[in-house]
Amino acid sequence: MRIADDHLKHLLCHGYAVVPGFLSPEELIAPRENLLRYYPTPEELAATPERYGWVFDDPEHLQIEFPFAGDALNHISTHPDLIDAVDRLLGTPQVLLSQAAIWAKYAGTGDFEQTMHLDYQGNTLVVPRDDGAFRQVNMILYYSDVGPDLGPTCVVPLEHTQDLSPWPPFRPRKKYPDLYRHEKALPAKAGDLLLFSMSTFHRASDVTADFGARLSHHFVWRAAAYPFAGYHQWSHFGEKPELARFIERATPRQREVIGFPPPGHPYWNEQTLAGVAARYPRMDMKPYMGKC
């Protein structure tokens, strides 16, 4: 169990928790190689900036969403230990991954300072309710060291905000100086995992280093029972070959958290088994071939 009960208790009490070394140095190798399919290294960017004009065009929004071309990033997006932690937090195994995206920020390319905010506007039509299965869980996994000069995430512990209304979700420094006085910067090592609540005020701080990159992987999870919450339904990407490749290689549980019907679901009958097998010819259909 990589995410211990103590981490989850800290999340519930303070609105955030850091899991040091969620991924080992060896486990970081493959996803970092996958990242190179999308992003240059800082050395490549510095040596040939003309090749990467798109980095400078919109440096604050270099995000790419699941599904990915690399198997490692897809596997980490649906990592069994992430699913296990969400199951325990929400008190149900019926959980869904509603957002997964990688993000790169390069020193010297833009202004990365954010306003203190909550993330719920793009993840629900209502406001957060952080108990039981109503909870949504935010996570950031770091693929690079994030020191004080590479834009560490800042959070305001819940004990300073628990009496605040969730509206408005964005709180500028001049109007809400107390929030910024109570913020806590969270530097991270590559492989560390940050968990935080949908009701946790947070922000990205600026990248002040002269050189380097901040590489991260962002997730949001929710209970399947409440469709008024959630960022994505992954069938939106059903025509992408990357998603078909992931589905063919995933475990049944990994498929389930992106909305695929699990083994034993009433959806499965002889017709649907044959059709899904034709759509995903490299997928192992045996787990789904129970009574139908």
pLDDT digits (tens, 9 = 90+) for 28-48: 999 999 999 999 999 999 999
* pLDDT band, residue 143 (cuts 50/70/90): very high
* pLDDT band, residue 87 (cuts 50/70/90): very high
**143-147, 213-217, 228-232, 259-263: least confidently modelled range:** 228-232
Closest CA to 231 of 123, 149, 92: 123
Q: Cα–Cα distance between 158 and 60 in angstroms, integer? A: 27
* pLDDT for res 233: 85
Mean pLDDT within 11-17: 98
* CB neighbourhood size of 208 (10 A): 13
> Residue 170: exposed, middle, or buried by beta-carbon count in 10 A (0-12, 13-18, 19+)?
middle
pTM: 0.95
Tokens of 286: 């045996």
Proportion of the chain above pLDDT 70, given as a percent: 99
Mean pLDDT within 126-131: 94
- Which string of DSSP letters, residue by residue, matches 42-68? HHHHHH-GGGGHHHHHSGGG-EEESS-
* pLDDT for res 232: 83
Let me know: does 178 contact 69? Beta carbons within 8 Å: no
Q: Which fold has domain 5-233?
A: Jelly Rolls (2.60.120)
* pLDDT band, residue 227 (cuts 50/70/90): confident
- Which string of DSSP letters, residue by residue, matches 262-274? PTT-TT--HHHHH
Let me know: does 284 contact 252? Beta carbons within 8 Å: no
pLDDT for 147-179, tens place per residue? 999 999 999 999 999 999 999 999 999 999 999
Mean pLDDT within 172-199: 97
- Residue extents of the structural domains in the chain: 5-233
* pLDDT for res 291: 59
